[in-house]
Amino acid sequence: MITNNISLKEYNTLNISVKTTYFAQPKTSQETIAVLKSDTAKNNSIFILGGGSNVLFKSDFDGLVIHPCISDINILDENEDTIKVEVGAGVEWDSFVEWATNRNLYGIENLSLIPGNIGACPVQNIGAYGVEVKDVITSVQGIYLDSLESFSLSNAACKFDYRNSVFKQELKNKTLITSVCFELRKKGELNLNYGSIQKDVEALGERSLLNARKAIIAVRNSKLPDPKEFGNVGSFFKNPIIDIAIAKDIFKKYPSAPSYEVSESLVKIPAAWLIEQAGWKGKSIGNAAVHKNQALVLINSNGQATGTEILELAGAIVSDVEKKFGISLEKEVNVL
């Protein structure tokens, strides 16, 4: 059940070549408990690795990496309007979106093609095109690593925020998520008010779930590199939310700067735009580079980049954006 000296290159989408001393892939909650009760788990540091789409390894991991592979999708309840479903942590996120879309279920179509597994989606509160996964999560199930007791946290208890949750704060490195429960709608309106999505959907024909998914996949493919071609974690930085007074100063110098109102006093500025204005789009440091088509994506340009090179590039970007705009970019990726 537990193997030794395993390469993690195929288990992280940045394709960083690192190893872990011990590695386990439990396929059920019972197997997960057995791994956590093992002497290997008791005597070593533990890291829970999902799809590897939001992690940056700086070096080999001296400990036990657990890669949950629980892959069940179970319908819990349904009525005329909604359906409640429990999804195993090892299910690939986009395969679940496809599962829902094929059944004409609304709520996650805008999150098509986001990389990673179900177990990681509540940790990061993944989001795209005006939708966040917190909008459809009802509860998160898992195991506390210290006591090995099971838990079920409600949506409110997860303390979801922009790319944030209790799993990145009070419970960081203290839990293993085994499944997530969602409530999807059988009826509803599509959310097409972000960017050019509405035009892209209409160009495909009728306003349908299938066409919404097709349009979003096309947009993501046009902007984001395939990790199999260039290792990446998608958006490397969060879009900063800033005071409107700071935003107004930016608009004076850059009248066409893109922005999204968060509240009467707060504005979200795309990090990609800030990075591009700072001159980093398409630039590189060693084997790490900023993608030529999307400045928010840092890539392992030739498959030889180290985690240190990626971090050096990220640090240079953060420094230049702060100098130019007085805005400090925050990484989305989990650095290990």
By percentage, how much of the chain surpasses pLDDT 70?
100
Which pLDDT value is given to residue 160?
97
Average pLDDT in the chain:
94
Q: Which of 42, 66, 90 is the last residue of a domain?
A: 66
Return the SS3 of 66: strand
CATH number at residue 243: 3.90.78.10
Selecting among 29, 163, 179, 213, the annotated active-site residue is 163
In DSSP notation, 208-250 reads -HHHHHHHHHHHHHHHS--TTTSEE-S--BPPPEEEHHHHHHH
Largest CA distance in the chain: 61
Of the given ranges (225-229, 284-288, 289-293, 299-303), which has the lowest mean pLDDT? Answer: 225-229
The pLDDT tens digits for 6-21 are 999 999 999 999 999 9
- Please check whether residues 61 and 82 belong to one and the same domain: no
Provide the domain count of the chain: 3
Residue 89: inside a domain, yes or no? yes
Which pLDDT value is given to residue 190?
87
- Please check whether residues 41 and 79 belong to one and the same domain: no
Q: Containing domain of residue 139, as a range?
A: 73-185
159 Rama sector, left if φ>0, alpha if ψ -120 to 50, beta otherwise: left
- 183: burial class by Cβ within 10 Å (0-12, 13-18, 19+)? buried
Active site annotation includes 220: no
Return the SS3 of 111: helix
Active site annotation includes 332: yes
Residue 101: inside a domain, yes or no? yes
Selecting among 29, 53, 112, 235, the annotated active-site residue is 235
Residue 51: inside a domain, yes or no? yes
The pLDDT tens digits for 49-93 are 999 988 999 999 999 999 999 999 999 999 999 999 999 999 999
The pLDDT tens digits for 195-246 are 778 888 878 888 889 999 999 999 888 888 888 889 999 889 999 999 999 9
